[in-house]
């Protein structure tokens, strides 16, 4: 692993610890409010983790990439380091969502079924959101308005990305026609646009 990738991953790992505080904090609120048995707590955590993943991924793009460049990192290494950061955020979101929904299901609270389709969708959607969060971070230095607009769109997309989980959790995907396949294709297309944009910005990255 290159020094640039290690630096970016260290930065992301440090801030991604905030994910751990979100789950028990929201659980305590639901318990104190008496909402646990009547509210989809696990699904609420999943939606918030999507948003949190996009927010945490802003940081490597905002300052981490330029810091790595100023330390002598190559742009190619910085690009692949950002991919590792997006994957780390996506894994955090997926594993914590699975853990929270598994625990709440065992407690008798409403929870998402953890079938392979749900887990694959979680990982894919979280990766795309994290990559687009990094794109917003890269834009922030020179195009602050575009970065703010993109992140606002990401929050809306994170909320919208939660709803296909119900589709994959319900099983019997054949009843939905081509929709279960069109959603991943749409995510892949959105992710490809984001990755090409990240590559373009990183290739022109400057210090200062």
CA distances from 134 to 49, 151, 202 (A): 16, 10, 11
- Residue scoring higher pLDDT (13 or 80): 80
Q: What pLDDT is recorded for position 26?
A: 61
Report the distance separating Cα 58 and Cα 92, nearest Å: 15
pLDDT band, residue 155 (cuts 50/70/90): confident
Report the distance separating Cα 147 and Cα 58, nearest Å: 10
The string of pLDDT tens digits covering residues 98-117 is 887 777 777 776 677 778 88
SS3 51: helix
**CA-CA-CA-CA dihedral for 81, 49, 181, 164, to nearest 10:** -170
């Amino acid at each position: 692993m290159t020094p640039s990738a290690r630096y970016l991953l260290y930065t992301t790992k440090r801030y991604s610890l905030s994910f751990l505080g979100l789950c028990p904090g929201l659980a305590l609120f639901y318990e104190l409010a008496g909402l646990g048995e009547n509210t989809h707590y696990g699904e609420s955590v999943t939606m918030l983790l999507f948003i949190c993943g996009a927010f945490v991924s802003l940081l490597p793009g905002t300052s981490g990439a330029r810091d790595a460049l100023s330390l002598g990192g190559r742009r190619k290494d910085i690009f692949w380091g950002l991919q590792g950061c997006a994957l780390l955020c996506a894994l955090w979101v997926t594993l914590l969502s699975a853990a929270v929904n598994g625990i709440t299901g065992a407690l008798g609270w409403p929870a998402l079924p953890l079938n392979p389709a749900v887990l694959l969708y979680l990982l894919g959607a979280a990766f795309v959101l994290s990559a687009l969060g990094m794109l917003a971070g890269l834009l922030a230095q020179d195009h602050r308005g575009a970065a703010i607009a993109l992140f606002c769109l990401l929050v809306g997309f994170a909320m919208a990305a939660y709803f296909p989980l119900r589709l994959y959790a319900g099983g019997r995907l054949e009843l939905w026609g081509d929709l279960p396949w069109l959603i991943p294709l749409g995510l892949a297309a959105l992710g490809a646009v984001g990755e090409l944009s990240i590559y373009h910005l990183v290739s022109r990255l400057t210090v200062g």
